[in-house]
Chains A and B, each alone.
Chain A
């Protein structure tokens, strides 16, 4: 019954979004306040309906209703509850439902938190979001309906891919999708602004919090995915330049550029058409990513079962959404008036450089991801793309980016003083040089690029702190005065400092991975293995039975010198249903380095293969990402998004008399 109810809610949601995408936009054109207000009601109703559909599917999973095809194919009664729930989005149909659910969540959020928006702009934004919703609801209902019933329900289901049965992956898709889909708000704002033909500081001020929030969610989502890859694939790698990873990384890169360029629109009233273009591209890349993953035109580990009909449908969606918005852009953008002028060396100049480098970075990732596709179409020469390509193209682009990132915030608006900024950054130069020397000494001449990377991280970290201390006047005035300044500094400034510092931490983590130590040996029970300064002793391997797997669980004692550090228990799990083995690694971390232990196969003589890695600074990769997202959240809490100028400006530029509502 619940299943039919869910299906029905989804169909009803389709009709509601059809109204949401037409009535308000007509109302905005005719200046009819009542029609415009329909958008808000529809967005909330669609959110409730899709929420019910989501709940219905989740219910079917939780009670293991094997009359639903989707549940049969992806669930099993023995699966722990957490994975029954996460199984909802661990497959194509369910993940598309999660996608629209997130979309309706964003539209509902816009409907609720946009009371200070001019009614016409709000109506148009909601209508554009409604159009996207219509497209995806049609897609779900016609090509990937999760509510289809099976004629003869089997006794049990096929279960979920064991690799996906992991807490890290259970929460990774919701964050990722929230990020992806959140950019639809910026997209809708951009399209609405193009329709109105007006982009100003107030517009940028409305868009920025939405962009920031999606960016934070996407950052966390990507970090979770890479953390999962790190500890479950049992290899110690954390990023593989896989098409699906790239599909989430590209919107992140352009979204980062968008956050920065919209600052320029807000503060200096220029770079308007570029910012609009970025907003369109960011969401377009999310859509293209969805297309690439769902249509099966590229092969990837993450790809679910694919179907050409779905690919064709999404391609039509892409044509309508991206083609339509870019055409609108071509028609309307030339008339957008640019504002203030600025010298190349200035805060604006630095932000333009940031945008250029990020866009180029995104373009290289895009090319690398789609290269096989292009070559196939042209019957061209054969070439392969993988780690080697990205390391040689993407990484060099990020080096000037990190250098400029240290200097940019030191420059003044309009016209900056590069020499002065450099002089004030002497601390950062010293820090970079020291870091390089220390790294060179400690690792006795490790790889050059890793040392450069660490120096860059130190440069950026020191530069960020130098800028922050200068701003609050630390060391120049009494501590209490500094404290007062720090409190009165806008939260957005603290947020920027935190996010940039997170970047420094991240770069350090990535660079230091070149200094990994590793050991792989076949060890008998009671045997020992040496990695870095640690000794691992294999004490025993015992059989364990889990809810839906059997496992071999090792007990390994780790000592350093004569001191016992800890005892770890890596496992090899065998999932009987899928006949698949996964490795459950043990990671011992002190936040400066990880000791990573994985259990391999046993040989005929009863000896076990054990792999151990000593990975300095590797936790910083994710700590850095979390700090970045935290910085975004701090910036999001800035009170100027809620009150102040946006409201005052509205009075000046509102299209309508402040009647109605």
Chain B
């Protein structure tokens, strides 16, 4: 019995190494995790606007392709990705919907005042319920939603310039053309 106790550390480590090996499997990229939500309709939500005027819901996503971005003021990677979002909004004129995830409204507002506001509309997901419905497991996360309100792609972690140029923009172009 005492022997077993001494075996515990190496046992635990091997389990951990198994996880590591699993996450190194070919074709795995933490930035483009497959989502169970792909090609499904975006979940229903009703969030208070950051601007303070009413609420924003799923209906706002329909009619034309949009990009939904989950962010938070306490998240450093969000700040890294921010210049890209500004570029998307200003140069590419992509409609971005921001969802402030588990964040205080004042903090979110301050973030946008400091770095610029790339979003057409911002909803506040204070308890993280909407994030849970979308399948967010960390901010930032970005979803591409087509004109019928179906989720077409998910980006986990901060967007990179390559991901934007080679995946996000081409996808939006095909969605916009159809």
Contacts and interface: CB of A to CB of B under 8 A. Distances in A.
B is bound to A: yes
A296 interface: yes
Interface stretch (A31-39, A256-264, A312-320): A312-320
Contact of A581 (B80, B83, B136): B83
Given A372-B138, A384-B136, A300 B20 contact: no
Contacts of A326: 9-10, 13
Interface in A586-643: 598, 600-601, 609, 611
Interface in B20-41: 20-24, 26, 30-31, 33
Contact of A382 (B30, B136, B157): B136
Contact of B74 (A240, A280, A318, A611): A240
Contacts of A295: 20, 24
B150 interface: no
B14 interface: yes
Contact of A373 (B2, B23, B76): B23
Interface string B48-69: 0000000000000000000000
B48 to A, nearest CB: 19
Interface stretch (A121-129, A328-336, A427-435, A506-514): A328-336
B169 interface: no
A384 B13 contact: no
B147 interface: no
Contacts of B128: 384
Nearest to A309: B24
A311 interface: yes
Interface stretch (A134-142, A385-393, A536-544): A385-393
Contacts, number: 123
A153 B9 CA distance: 50
Contact of B110 (A315, A383, A520): A520
Contact of A330 (B6, B33, B80, B157): B6
Contacts of A277: 9
A298 interface: yes
Contacts of B80: 301
Contacts of A234: 114
B9 A386 contact: no
Contacts of A374: 19
B170 interface: no
B137 A375 contact: yes
Contact of A609 (B75, B83, B114): B114
A384 B139 contact: yes
Nearest to B18: A377
B23 A377 contact: yes
Contacts of A370: 19
A297 B24 contact: yes
A89 interface: no
Interface string B116-151: 100000000000100110011111000000000000
Interface string B72-111: 1011110110010000000000000000011000000010
A653 interface: no
B17 A386 contact: no
Most buried by B among A284, A288, A330, A385: A330
A546 interface: no
Contact of B77 (A300, A388, A609): A300
Nearest to B20: A315
A371 to B, nearest CB: 8
Contact of A322 (B13, B26, B72): B13
Band of interface residues on A: 35 or more
B3 interface: yes
Contacts of A601: 116
A384 B137 contact: yes
B139 A315 contact: no
B113 interface: yes
Nearest to A374: B19
Nearest to A273: B6
Given A382-B132, A385-B138, A323 B79 contact: no
A57 B75 CA distance: 35
A571 B77 CA distance: 22
Given A299-B157, A611-B114, A386 B33 contact: no
Contacts of B156: 299
Contacts of B9: 277, 280-281, 326, 329-330
B7 interface: yes
A383 B136 CA distance: 7
Contact of A297 (B10, B30, B116): B30
B20 A297 contact: yes
A376 interface: yes
A601 to B, nearest CB: 6
A291 interface: yes
Contacts of A581: 83
A157 to B, nearest CB: 18
A600 B114 contact: yes
Contact of B114 (A281, A376, A520): A520
B30 A298 contact: yes
A116 interface: no
A323 B23 contact: no
A518 B156 CA distance: 32
Contact of B137 (A273, A284, A297, A372): A372
B34 to A, nearest CB: 10
A423 to B, nearest CB: 39
A7 B17 CA distance: 32
30 contacts: A229-B76, A233-B79, A234-B114, A235-B114, A240-B75, A242-B76, A291-B20, A297-B24, A299-B77, A308-B24, A308-B26, A312-B24, A323-B17, A327-B10, A329-B9, A330-B3, A330-B6, A330-B7, A334-B2, A377-B19, A382-B137, A383-B137, A384-B101, A384-B128, A384-B137, A384-B138, A385-B138, A580-B83, A601-B116, A609-B114
Interface of A: 229, 233-235, 237, 240, 242, 273, 277, 280-281, 284, 288, 291, 295-301, 308, 311-312, 315, 318-319, 322-323, 326-327, 329-330, 333-334, 370, 372-377, 382-388, 518, 520, 580-581, 598, 600-601, 609, 611
Q: Kindly list the 9 A-B residue pairs having the minimum CB-CB distance in the complex, ordered from nearest.
A: A299-B157, A326-B10, A297-B23, A387-B74, A330-B7, A240-B76, A330-B6, A326-B9, A311-B24
